[in-house]
Chain A
Amino acid sequence: MNFDYTDDQKALKEEARRFLTAASPLTVARAVLENPGDGYDTALWGRIVEQGWCGATIPESYGGLGLGYVELCALAEELGRAVAPVPFASSIYFFAEALMLVGSEQQKSELLPLVASGELIGTLAVAEGAGVLTEARISAKVSGGRVFGTKLPVADGMAAGRAVVLAQGDDGGDTGLGLYLVDLIGEGVSREAVSNIDPTRGAARISFDGAPAELLGEASKGLETLHRIQERGAILLAFEQLGGADRCLEMARDYALERYAFGRPIGSYQAIKHKLADVFVKNEVARANAYYGAWALSTDAPELPVAAAAARVAGSAAYWMAAKEMIQTYGGIGVTWEADCHFFYRRARHLGLVIGAPRDWKRRLADSLEARVNAEKQP
């Protein structure tokens, strides 16, 4: 039993923090905010690639480092803390995970080395406008090996070179949703940047008009497979959320110690102390659930779906609370463009929505809990 990182993992995490403190100060995120371009900082991305982080959990045989998932969780926590404006989550937690989970040998050996080396950025292109993602809401179609339809929003959609697209298949009698690999640089693809709540993580509208689409994983099992991919990625995103929430609490605490009102630091008033204690408790709830998720992910435990949903629900709630209460603690200066608070407020919202809102994950969690209790009742 060990409710903590190992010493080696702690060393990796400290090294990552040192690196990101130097390479990704909030001025880097600010530059992207003010001039979004493709929604990420290419120089920072290059330096992260040089660190080898993109290949952290990719096996060495595919050009990665073959580290464990807890190591990747540690990196995610630091990337979240730094509000790093890079497409790491889309490419590593989701695109690479999709390939490793259901990719064919050929797909893996073609694409994983490119992801690990940073030459290729990947993403998921699944949503089609407002609402919870259900089978009935997907109208993108694959016909004769080509995909037609529009995806909105696609996270890091301008940065990515390849996407995993959720679409209705009709090849060879296979109907139902499938996942398809599509080259975003090739024919039949048009895309445009779309302004979104967190410009430091770009978003796009991507239209497919006959782009070549290659089945990834089993036909007709697209939604089920997507959920499995998202569960794995949700745990990694929960660490980004935790890192961000922890930093919000630290910033609020530091500000409350420096700012004086009525002759005392505002942090000496119980109105502020108790607020920040509530944030601390929420962060501990997120940490406990994220750690459990990391364990489930690294051991492929049967608890993974429950642990992932719980980590996502707790991480989303904690980051939201920590970001908004940090601004409340800062007072007026906190709501200005000039202050750094809005990076966290924006990123908290981005992370909470980008793979489905907490409401959807609560539904999934309740479904899993009910299934667990029903299974226990079987004689």
Chain B
Amino acid sequence: MNFDDNPQEAAYRATVRAWIEANAPDMSVLAPEERRPWQDKHKAIATVWQATKADAGYACISWPKERGGAGGTAIQEAIFNQEEARAGVQFTYFMTGQHMLLPALMEHSSDEASLARVAPAVRGDEIWCQLFSEPSSGSDSAATRTMAVRDGDHWVLNGQKVWNSGAQASDYGMVIARTDADVPKHKGLSAFWLDMKTPGLEVRPIKMMSGDSELNEVFLEDVRIPANQMIGNPGDGWKVVISTLMNERAALGSGTGLTWRDIMEVARNSPAFDGTTLEDPAFREWLADYYVGSEAIRLLSFRTLTALSHGKAPGPEGSAGKLLWATQTQELTNQAMDIQDHFGLIDDPEIAMLNGGFQHRFLWAPALRLGGGTDEIMKNIIAERVLGLPGDVRVDKAVPFREIPTGR
């Protein structure tokens, strides 16, 4: 057990820390209401930063150079990400592509024209989104109803996708569609990538309870995709889905956002019965419990790093991290408002503590427990793949897709 960097790692960390300090964008030019994802100025800063990193060899560090990466190690990439987060200049715009979709594309496609899309995405010149979930296919992610039918050297897609993060601003998407409805559901799926400007594709933003609109519905009506843009072979779609979902959970579980330090600041400024909330024993007990959980999230990321450094893939433990992170975040936001008493109601960024960051996060928290695999799906994964308990009874597994009963 060693939570220190070895000498090479420490030297690398010092180098990137100095480089980030010298080159990081100045976030203070943004007004409080502009410091949130998908605000124009915020996105412009993130785009310039991504290109700056790519030019210096700090974008997708562990990827091969011919794909726009730096040919470095997974450890170096993880160290850079930690330092970037520490400096407060980590952005989400490119994560769907870089953490989930493009690794799956590189793993499952051998088509050079397809692989040529990777490098521009590394630079942040092109943004990718995921087109997997459907109105009738949430946790049951193999229940995809969007159909793809072969027509000459194209596939023609019809259907509807939902919860597509960033689709409104994306250049490319990865889409799952059914190419065979006469075989059981997992076997009839295929994966494609497509230009989001393809005729017949329409993106409609979904306004979330937070007021943000970064998730979308995507409608596909006779959308024609060149056949070489199928990722792998017909019927390989489920393998591609699994690759991206495992990547997603490992990335989500690493934990970002507001921390115990932030709620300590709120507690310091919130009067309690006698003195401040920070002096209230009940709050201090809560804080200790919260810290223990958040430390575990931080430390479990070192387990992922250890696996990577030994050339192993991160295991299903990523599901534990994701579960923990989502539930802890919701508890944190609720507690941060609780300790302000009446004033916790205020979410006006001009008046609220931390510009209303906790209130905004509170309205996002339910989505964290659903997106990227719900709490319940995470628990199923842990129970089945880690503990070896039996899978749920499935009435649809051996049945041709078109014979599966459908409800609402």
Contacts and interface: CB of A to CB of B under 8 A. Distances in A.
B302 A281 contact: no
B302 A280 contact: no
A230 interface: no
A257 B384 CA distance: 12
A265 interface: yes
A289 B295 contact: yes
Contacts of A256: 389
A369 B2 contact: no
A105 to B, nearest CB: 31
Contacts of A274: 376, 379-380, 383
B4 A1 contact: yes
Interface in A247-287: 249, 253, 256-257, 264-265, 267-268, 270, 272-274, 276-278, 280-281, 284-285
A265 B288 contact: no
B383 A362 contact: no
B291 A284 contact: no
Given A284-B320, A298-B1, A1 B386 contact: no
Contacts of B284: 362-363, 366-367
B75 to A, nearest CB: 7
B299 A288 contact: yes
Interface residues of B, number: 49
Contacts of A299: 4
Contact of A313 (B6, B292, B300, B320): B292
**Secondary structure of the A side of the interface?**
helix
A278 B288 CA distance: 20
B1 A285 contact: no
A145 B6 CA distance: 50
Interface in A157-196: none
B364 interface: no
Contacts of A317: 289, 292
B3 A295 contact: yes
A154 B4 CA distance: 38
Contacts of A265: 389-390
A313 B1 contact: no
B263 to A, nearest CB: 11
A309 B292 CA distance: 9
Interface residues of A, number: 48
Interface string A287-331: 011011011001100000000011001100100000000000000
Given A1-B6, A267-B389, A294-B1, A285 B303 contact: no
B260 A369 contact: yes
A289 B390 contact: no
Interface string A352-367: 0000000101110111
A373 interface: yes
A270 B383 CA distance: 9
B296 A277 contact: no
A373 B261 contact: yes
A129 B200 CA distance: 77
B1 A295 contact: yes
A363 B285 contact: yes
A125 B117 CA distance: 69
A285 B292 contact: yes
Nearest to B393: A268
A215 B287 CA distance: 37
Nearest to A293: B1
A366 B2 CA distance: 25
B6 A365 contact: no
Given A294-B1, A310-B291, A310-B292, A280 B389 contact: no
Given A274-B376, A292-B299, A363-B285, A1 B306 contact: yes
Contacts of B323: 277, 281
B253 to A, nearest CB: 11
Interface stretch (A2-10, A46-54, A57-65): A2-10
Given A274-B379, A276-B383, A280-B382, A1 B288 contact: no
Interface string B286-320: 01110111011001101101100100000001001
B152 interface: no
B387 interface: yes
Nearest to B387: A253
A341 interface: no
Contacts of A276: 383, 387, 389
B387 A1 contact: no
Contacts of B350: none
Given A274-B383, A280-B386, A3 B302 contact: yes
B376 to A, nearest CB: 7
Contact of B5 (A1, A267, A362): A1
Contacts of A310: 288, 291-292, 295
A94 to B, nearest CB: 22
Nearest to A257: B389
B2 A273 contact: no
Contact of B300 (A5, A249, A288): A288
Interface string B1-18: 111111001000000000
B274 interface: no
Contacts of B147: none
B392 A270 contact: yes
A119 interface: no
A291 B299 contact: yes
A313 B288 contact: yes
Nearest to A362: B288
B388 interface: yes
A268 B387 CA distance: 12
Contacts of B387: 249, 253, 273, 276-277, 280
Contacts of B4: 1, 295, 299
Contacts of B156: none
The listed residue with most B CB atoms (<10 A of its CB), out of A253, A267, A273, is: A273
Contacts of B281: 363
A366 B288 contact: yes
A271 to B, nearest CB: 11
B264 A288 contact: no
Interface of A: 1-5, 70, 249, 253, 256-257, 264-265, 267-268, 270, 272-274, 276-278, 280-281, 284-285, 288-289, 291-292, 294-295, 298-299, 309-310, 313-314, 317, 359, 361-363, 365-367, 369-370, 373
Given A2-B309, A284-B300, 10 more contacts: A1-B75, A3-B305, A264-B390, A276-B387, A277-B382, A292-B1, A317-B289, A361-B288, A366-B285, A373-B261
8 closest A-B pairs by CB: A273-B383, A362-B288, A366-B284, A277-B379, A288-B299, A268-B390, A285-B296, A277-B382
13 contacts: A1-B75, A3-B1, A3-B305, A265-B390, A268-B391, A268-B392, A277-B378, A284-B300, A285-B293, A289-B296, A298-B1, A365-B288, A369-B287
